[in-house]
Amino acid sequence: MKLKDIIQPLTIWKRVAEEPWTIKDPLTERPGADNYRGFHQNDFAKCIGCGSCEEICQNAAIDLVPVEGQEVKDGNSGLRPRIDYGRCCWCALCVDICPTGALTMSNEYTWIDDDPEVFRFTPGADKTKWQDDEKGYSRSEDIALINFDRIEMEEKAPEDRDKSFIEIVKGYNKEQAMLEADRCLECGLCTATCPAHMDIPAYIAALREDNIEEAFRILYETNPLPEICGRICTHKCETACALHNNGEAIAIRWLKRYIADQIPAERYKEVLGTEHLADPKIGHKIAVIGAGPSGLSAAYYLAILGYQVKIFEALPDSGGMMRYGIPEYRLPYDQINKDIDYIKSLGVEIQFNTRIGQDIPLEDLHQEYSAVYAATGLHLGRSTRIPGSDNSEVYFATDLLRKFTLGQDIPVGKKIVVIGGGNVAMDITRTLARLQNQKYGKVDITATSLETEDIMPADREEIVESREEKAIIEPGWGPQEIEIKDGKIAGLHLIKCLSVFDENGAFNPKFDANEKKFFKADMVVESIGQGMDLSYISDELKEKIKMGPRGRIDVNEGFQTSVDWLFVGGDIIKGPDVINGVANGHIAAKAIDKYLNAQKK
């Protein structure tokens, strides 16, 4: 034993004089680190109640509960996470996954209470002293547990597409579709926003599991036009997507298209289990007026319910606005046919070139058919009624699009102005731009709308693609007069539009007459909305039908009019778009089924 080993330990005594290392009052002198994972905070302005926090919590510490004052609205379930601190392990996975960044953690770590119940609370709703604390844990911008960026969709380059009507969007390949499907959080917020309430998370999940057939069956549960909707749906669902708040929404529409594209037409019956449909001849006979989306949807659901369905269509082919309104570069005809041919294969008969009201009176249909579903759509153009709009060189967009599809020649001016900012306006702009390109080798077309670009009703990509195809979009102008010189159009006078809607949200545009603009033109197309043509309903019948506001037919929630055998749906009731039509048709089909079943008894 060395002496050193005995002496050295005695230096411990020097510590007697040392300042203590402890702090006197830890609660005030020792706040948590800036990054501390303390008690939760929830910013209700951001929270959408998607439940991703509940989903990822590995302790099942989170419940989703309704909270007073938090309403259910599009893209927001109104539910808020309630956290049970008896289970929470402060791992902050809930914070990391939160797609909106609403859920964070404060740096508060002391909380003493003799009531155990308070340790289960809803951050944001139950007042806590740390709710508005700035410090604490939040997801670093540098990391992500989910993918906020959409898998890019390949499109034909503008120079490859601006002369032809070949489909622009290429569609996902398998790898892309899988990656895109992987982004889905399965919160289901989108389902409420979809007018047809398609089970979007379920078919995306089936796709992710590489079970295309199951995904396809789920599509048909609520939508018998997946090829069509997979291309041109207004995809309101994507605005409700949880990822839309902080990144790009799931490309729901493209995934739907991918699923439908994978199943060849000849396998439809086998996959959907309709190979041995009950013989419709034993069921009631039902007439549908109009082979547009709503009529087809009703016909489909009636057919699988076992009814014998016949559709009467005024035009020489089926599809309604889908064929005669939407240009082929957006929705190729063979895809329309794929969906409709399947519906036809279920025994649905379509009689073309038959205009009810003219060729067959509506009342006569009732003699032969137990019920009638009228989905006649909006086909009449609406005029701005500004001076000069009665000139023969002023056209309605819908008329031009229909004629073009029918293969008739349509006039193509050298310098065209389109009035309107909706999808139809973009359709006619881009169609005419292509025709100009074919005819004159250059594009000179301007589309102008009342709405400024941020509130233009057309889809964003439509505006972007129109510009790529060298069309000029000039939003925020109100048309005043079409100048006519020697019976020919010289151009369109406009004034600045300051606002379109008043504070009540009603259409009431305000203008600044001092700020003027003039577009030279030799042809003007009006595309400011469409009207319905109800002339097929005889005056006698009209008297029996209860009408609602603004000349619309009043229907109950099953789209039944006050004349019990007549059901009316589609754009003339709700919309206008394909997916609303599909939803109407579905609801009406079930309502007709219920009506007829009730009659039997």
Partner 1 sequence: MKEKIDRLRKMVNVLQVVEKHPDLYFITLEGNQLVMALGYLKNTLNFKHLAFMQAVDYLEDNKFMLTYMVYNYELKANLGVNVFIDREESSMFSIHRLWEHAWQYQRELYEMFGIDFPGSPRVDEPFIMESWEEMPPMRRDFDTLAYSQKTYFPRPGRETNDPKEQMKKAKYPNYPDSPKIRRDDE
Partner 2 sequence: MNKISESKYKDFVADRSKYPEMENGKPVIDLDSHKFTKIWQGPQHPGVTGNMSVEIIVNGDEIVDAKTHVGYLHRGFEKLMERRRYIQCFPIVCRICVPEPDTNEYCVSAAMEDLAGIVIPDKAAWLRTLNLEMSRVAGFLMWLGGQAGSLGMGAIGQWTVAMRDYWLDLFEEMTGGRIYHMYMIPGGVRKNLPLGFKERVLQTVDRTYKLLDDIERVFLNNAIAKSRLKGLGIITPEMVSEYGIVGPTARASGIADDIRINQPYLKYAELEMKMLTSNIGDAYDRTELRFQELLQSLDLVKQILNKIPENGEIQAKLPNVLHWKIPAGQTYIKAESTRGEHGFYMVSDGSKYPRRVFARGASYTHAISVLEKLAVNITISDLAALMVSLHTCPPEIER
Residues at the contact surface with partner 2, assessed by CB under 8 A: 1-2, 4-6, 8-9, 11-12, 15, 21-22, 32-37, 52, 55-56, 58, 89-93, 96-97, 105, 137, 140, 142-147, 182-186, 208
Amino acid at 378: L
CB of 338 to partner 1, least distance (A): 20
DSSP states along 58-125: TT--EEEEE-TT---BTTB--EEEEEETTT-----HHHHH-SSS-EEE-S------S-GGGGEE-BTT
Instruction: Using DSSP, state whether 460 is helix, strand or coil.
Output: helix
Give the list of residues 6+ apart from residue 259 with CB closer than 8 angstroms, or none: 203, 207, 212, 215, 216, 219, 226, 230
**C-beta closer to partner 1: residue 571 or 593:** 593
- The partner in contact with residue 197, picked from partner 1, partner 2, none with C-beta cut-offs of 5 to 8 angstroms by kind, is partner 1
When CB distances are held under 5 to 8 angstroms depending on the partner's kind, the choice from partner 1, partner 2, none that residue 586 binds is partner 1
Size of the site for partner 1 (CB under 8 A): 43
For the bound state, the minimum distance from the C-beta of residue 87 to partner 1, rounded and expressed in Å, comes to 9
Site for partner 1 in 219-248 (CB under 8 A): 220-222
DSSP class per residue in 114-136: S-GGGGEE-BTTB--TTTT-S-S
> In terms of C-beta density within 10 A (0-12 exposed, 13-18 middle, 19 or more buried), how is residue 331 classed?
buried
In the list 43, 63, 461, 533, the residue contacting partner 1 (rule: CB under 8 A) is 63
Longest dimension (CA), the chain: 124
Centre a 10 Å sphere on the Cβ of residue 310 and count the other Cβ atoms it contains: 17
Choosing from 204, 305, 326, 497, the residue that interacts with partner 1 (CB under 8 A) is 305
Tokens read off for 472: 């000029």
As beta bridge partners, residue 417 has: 446, 524
Dihedral, CA of residue 58, residue 59, residue 64 and residue 69, to nearest 10: -110
Structure tokens at 198: 């398609």
Helix (H) or strand (E) holding 13: none
Binding segment for partner 1 (CB under 8 A), chosen from 6-14, 57-65, 352-360, 467-475, is 57-65
Q: How far is CA 14 from CA 3, 4, 9, 11, 19, in A?
A: 19, 17, 11, 6, 11
C-alpha closest to that of 397 among 370, 424, 358 = 424
Which C-beta is closer to partner 1: that of 78 or that of 411?
78
> 49 is in the binding site of which of partner 1, partner 2, none (Cβ under 5 to 8 A by kind)?
partner 1
Structural tokens at position 555: 């229907």
What 8-state DSSP symbol labels residue 242?
A: G
Question: By CB under 8 A, which span of 131-139, 214-222, 250-258, 349-357 interacts with partner 1?
Answer: 214-222
Q: What does the per-residue mask of binding to partner 1 show for 95-134, with x meaning CB under 8 A?
A: -------------------------x--------------
**According to the binding rule CB under 8 A, does residue 304 interact with partner 1?**
yes
Fill in the DSSP letter of residue 547. Answer: B
Indicate which of partner 1, partner 2, none lies near residue 464 (CB less than 5 to 8 Å, by partner kind). none
Angle formed at CA 344 by CA 339 and CA 349, multiple of 5 degrees: 140
For partner 2, the closer of residues 168 and 185 by Cβ is 185
Q: Binding pattern to partner 1, positions 139-178, x when CB under 8 A?
A: ----------------------------------------
Provide the minimum distance between the beta carbon of 311 and partner 1 in the complex, in angstroms, as a whole number.
Answer: 18
Q: Is 187 in the site for partner 1 (CB under 8 A)?
A: yes
Q: Which residue, 401 or 579, is less far from partner 1 as judged by CB?
A: 579
Q: Is 332 in the site for partner 1 (CB under 8 A)?
A: no
Helices (H), 418-495: 423-440, 460-468
Asked if residue 58 binds partner 1 (CB under 8 A), the reply is no
Binding string, residues 567-586; x marks residues near partner 1 by CB under 8 A:
-------------------x
By DSSP bridging, strand 477-485 and strand 488-501 are antiparallel
Residue with smaller CB distance to partner 1, 51 or 422: 51
Residue 219's alpha-carbon distances to 255, 487, 515, 536, in angstroms, are 11, 53, 50, 34
Residue 63 contact, options partner 2, partner 1, none, Cβ 5-8 Å cut-off depending on partner type: partner 1
Angle 404-408-411 from CA coordinates, rounded to 5°: 75
The answer to whether residues 271 and 263 touch, using CB atoms and an 8 Å cutoff, is: yes
Give the nearer residue to partner 1 in terms of CB position, either 61 or 532. 61
How far from chain centre, in Å, is Cα 480?
33
From the list partner 1, partner 2, none, partner contacted by residue 91 (C-beta under 5 to 8 A by kind) = partner 2
140 binds, options partner 1, partner 2, none, Cβ within 5 to 8 A by partner type: partner 2
List the single partner that 97 binds among partner 1, partner 2, none, CB under 5 to 8 Å by kind: partner 2
User: Considering CB distances under 5 to 8 angstroms, the limit depending on partner class, which of partner 1, partner 2, none binds residue 472?
Assistant: none
Question: Whole-number minimum distance, CB 301 to partner 1, in Å?
Answer: 5
- Partner from partner 1, partner 2, none binding residue 4, C-beta < 5-8 Å depending on class: partner 2
Q: Which residues of 455-485 are buried (b: 16+ CB within 10 A; e: fewer)?
A: ebbbeeebbebbebbbbbbebbbbbbbbbbe
With the C-alpha atoms ordered 236, 238, 243, 249, is the resulting torsion angle positive or negative? negative
344 is in the binding site of which of partner 1, partner 2, none (Cβ under 5 to 8 A by kind)?
none
208 binds, options partner 1, partner 2, none, Cβ within 5 to 8 A by partner type: partner 2
| Stretch touching partner 1 by CB under 8 A, among 146-154, 315-323, 489-497, 589-597 | 589-597
Binding site for partner 1 (CB under 8 A): 49-51, 54, 62-66, 72, 77-79, 84, 86, 120, 187-189, 191-192, 197, 201, 220-222, 272-274, 276-279, 301, 304-306, 557, 586-587, 589-590, 593
